[in-house]
Chains A and B, each alone.
Chain A
Amino acid sequence: MSIESTHSHEDHTHAADHDDHHDHKPSSLLDRWLFTTNHKDIGTLYLVFSLLMFFIGGSMAMVIRAELFMPGLQLVEPDFFNQMTTMHALIMVFGAVMPAWVGFANWMIPMMIGAPDMALPRMNNWSFWILPFAFAMLLSTLFMDSGGPAAGWTLYPPLSLQSGQNFAFVVFAVHMMGISSIMGSINVIATILNMRAPGMTLLKMPLFVWTWLITAFLLIAVMPVLAGAVTMLLTDHFFGTSFFNAAGGGDPVMFQHIFWFFGHPEVYIMILPAFGVVSEIIPTFARKPLFGYSAMVYATASIAFLSFIVWAHHMFTVGMPLTGELFFMYATMLIAVPTGVKVFNWVSTMWRGSMTFETPMLFAIGFVVLFTIGGLSGLMLAIAAVDLQYHDTYFVVAHFHYVLVPGAVFALMAGAYYWLPKWTGRMYSEKWGKIHFWLSAISVNILFFPQHYLGLAGMPRRIPDYSTQFADFNMISSVGGFIFGASQLIFVGVIVHCVYKSRQTATGRVWEGAKGLEWILSSPPPYHSFNTPPVIDSTTMAHADESH
């Protein structure tokens, strides 16, 4: 499948550098960051913003774990505790993980497909610059008389309808996040479908690009549904409608159906790009092409399709007809098949590879192992009959934190370490990266593994106090939480050091085994990645020998 290349890749790096004069970096700070249309600058904004949100949401998690350190009420009022669980979830989902992935998409997709920038650069700026305002509005509710939202991030009526002053602010903040996500996703799809360099056919695209294409589709399909759901909450609260009020012929359970029609694809929105990043990193450090590239693509698409028909497994205890329970149980279990294909392919990629264990690879392997644990507890939860026992216990908390923290967040860390030298042109401190990994990997298990036991023993989620029999595991979990939280400060230290202090410059290739178009550019890459389309040569692609 190799296309004859007329000149070498090094020529391209030069050509891109050479053309740089016609649209160079703006000089003033305002022009550079506020008015920017550059995919790298916008990507940086997204990443910095999400890191800030990660620490704000993380500090709320610290409050939660501090309160749960011992039985009894010690630090906060129960209502404030509920505000913390609610805000922690909203901020981590919509403020940390999702914008972080959009940041990666912005930085990497144009480079990976050989484009100069995103397809709609001005809209790209707006997608980002809505977010700080949306989160300012969301966070401002904490300072209102009513306090912040406290009914859980799922905003279930009738409880959420009893919220005070904060309610409308939360709803409109969610609307703004939705508008931002939809515009960002439209941009990603248009970029991938329209801006690929000639010869970059769909099935030559890097897995990260593929997973983001499918993620963007999911986002455009479900964010409007969330917007509709919160709009109905708003009108039920303020304008006398009866969507979720049985007295008027509506049904609170209807909200749950609509919410989870959004909510289940949403969890894949947070994890599919993680699959993509891990699929980039493992071949690099195993020095082997990705095993089963096309199977990975089809598995991603299958997971996305299934994500639309499994939502009611979040509500097995709500009183659904038996046929409904069975359908959603079997459909949910089906997801294990494409996910299993993925895990098998990652392991097979490593099989007999010449592996080295730099920080990105450590995080990627940590992802494969720990995400799989989260996946398996998910299978347990999928069994409707036993979910009656697990539902709304700490087992659920353990499950989704395994897929989101050592899952999505580890993949974000892996990606950040993997591409940091490419972005900055300097190497980060491998020693501190490894310390960050080992502290995180150990503490995350101390933090979340005991929560499985707590849940199985019957400890409910979203409570500030608990029976004394849960004391030991909670204390262990809290200690793990504090170590994990503190360890993330190392990450900030590594980034700051890499950007401002590191003396060790990175080569264009950065990693010996790295494949893909982003590595034929210099480190840091030129302001506009490719001013002329690069020539696609299958030996530069991560899954090169697939068709030979």
Chain B
Amino acid sequence: MAHIADDTYYVPHGTKWPIIGSLGMITMLSSAAFWVNGSEIAPWSFLLGALILIYMMFGWFGEVIRESEAGMYNDQVDTSFRMGMMWFIFSEVMFFACFFGALFYARMFSVAWLGGEGTGALTNELLWQGYEAVWPTAGPEGLGGDFKTVPAFGVPFINTLILLFSGLTVTLAHHALKKNERGRLVFWLFATVVLGFFFVFLQVEEYIEAYQHLGLTLGSGIYGSTFFMLTGFHGMHVTLGAIMLLVIAIRSMRGHFKPDHHFGFEAVAWYWHFVDVVWLGLFIFVYVY
């Protein structure tokens, strides 16, 4: 329970942003549905929806930032924000857990059964005779054709080092903020942003390499499916995290955040550490092992 400083609560006034967000979301997602069904104008309305959502985020966050900088939030509001961010990250953990679960299930069960292990003997004998359970695999019918995997100790290892190092730089920025050394704060934040976008750049290069030279695509059976879904969703989260870091860096340049009061900074730092940890899981279970 947060300590309530002055026996009064803070309740914000009404807001138009959520309904704008809903309109953006329905525009974007219904367009996405029309898009996959082959509509030609849907990409444009999808873009419109995305722009509405971005407008909403600027407006909503902007309002919250102004209120925060005006000192309207007490400790209790701060704690609510912290809990909100913590549980949001937990939901993200469960989202990735779903795809890791699919990876483990495929590797431990479905591929082995297709290869004839345990109760799968007849499946193998009658449907896919001669299919050997190995990993990586594009399945008994080799969907998507032959492919090679991305070697772990090439770009992925460099990306691991980049993310680990970016975890260090964001922590250095945090220490600088706590000591109120604004110059170092901004410097380390921008260093983190650069590392984040460099990670995304290398990942894009890796995808191009996979599609053009390795024959590894989203359609490469269960390996391609799990590989691109896990690394793809992670890459999207890194991109989002890097944009969040950029916003925090710009806010820092404008003099936002105090040594003892900087939830926005910490929330983004938590998020950054979360994508970092997910990457370590990816590096081990998707690339190395």
Q: Out of A133, A240, A251, which one reaches B144, CB within 8 Å? A: A240
Contact with A along B212-251 (1 / 0, CB 8 A): 0000011101111110110000000000000000000000
**Contact flag A250-B94 (CB < 8 Å), given A117-B9, A133-B22, A198-B4:** no
Decide yes or no whether B137 CB sits under 8 A from chain A: yes
Contact with B along A13-41 (1 / 0, CB 8 A): 00000000001001000010011110000
B95 contacts A220, C-beta separation under 8 Å: no
B84 contacts A120, C-beta separation under 8 Å: yes
Shortest distance between the CB of B130 and any CB in chain A (Å): 14
Shortest distance between the CB of B92 and any CB in chain A (Å): 7
Decide yes or no whether A162 CB sits under 8 A from chain B: no
Contact with B along A215-227 (1 / 0, CB 8 A): 0000011111101
Stretch at the interface among A372-380, A383-391, A528-536: A528-536
Shortest distance between the CB of B40 and any CB in chain A (Å): 15
Of residues B18, B144, B224, B228, which shows the largest number of chain A Cβ atoms within 10 Å of its Cβ?
B18
Which chain A residue shows the least CB distance to B9?
A116
Q: Out of A36, A130, A228, which one reaches B22, CB within 8 Å? A: A130
Decide yes or no whether B25 CB sits under 8 A from chain A: yes
A137 contacts B139, C-beta separation under 8 Å: no
A251 contacts B110, C-beta separation under 8 Å: yes
Which chain B residue shows the least CB distance to A223?
B91
Decide yes or no whether A195 CB sits under 8 A from chain B: yes
**Chain A count of residues within 8 A CB distance of the other chain:** 82
Which chain B residue shows the least CB distance to A181?
B91
Q: Out of B11, B95, B138, B221, which one reaches A228, CB within 8 Å? A: B95
**Chain B count of residues within 8 A CB distance of the other chain:** 74
Decide yes or no whether B21 CB sits under 8 A from chain A: yes
B87 contacts A186, C-beta separation under 8 Å: yes
Stretch at the interface among A1-9, A153-161, A169-177, A295-303: A169-177
A169 contacts B98, C-beta separation under 8 Å: no
Shortest distance between the CB of A5 and any CB in chain B (Å): 16
Q: Out of A133, A179, A247, which one reaches B139, CB within 8 Å? A: A247
Decide yes or no whether A412 CB sits under 8 A from chain B: no
Decide yes or no whether A165 CB sits under 8 A from chain B: yes
Please, how many angstroms separate the alpha-carbon atoms of A172 and B143 in the complex? 27
Decide yes or no whether B88 CB sits under 8 A from chain A: yes
185-212 of chain A: CB within 8 A of chain B: 185-187, 189-191, 193-196, 198, 200
Shortest distance between the CB of B133 and any CB in chain A (Å): 9
Shortest distance between the CB of B10 and any CB in chain A (Å): 9
Decide yes or no whether A500 CB sits under 8 A from chain B: no
Shortest distance between the CB of A223 and any CB in chain B (Å): 7
Residues of B within 8 A of A (CB): 1-2, 4, 7-9, 11-19, 21-23, 25-26, 29-30, 32-33, 36-37, 60, 76, 79-81, 83-84, 87-88, 90-92, 94-95, 97-99, 101-102, 105-106, 109-111, 113-114, 118-119, 123, 127, 137-141, 143-144, 217-219, 221-226, 228-229
23 residue pairs A–B, Cβ–Cβ below 8 Å: A37-B15, A116-B11, A122-B17, A126-B21, A168-B37, A169-B33, A171-B33, A176-B29, A179-B25, A182-B91, A193-B1, A194-B83, A225-B97, A227-B95, A234-B36, A242-B139, A243-B106, A246-B123, A246-B139, A249-B110, A258-B102, A531-B9, A533-B4
What 9 A-B pairs are tightest by C-beta distance, nearest first? A228-B98, A249-B139, A126-B18, A249-B222, A251-B110, A240-B219, A248-B139, A241-B225, A168-B33
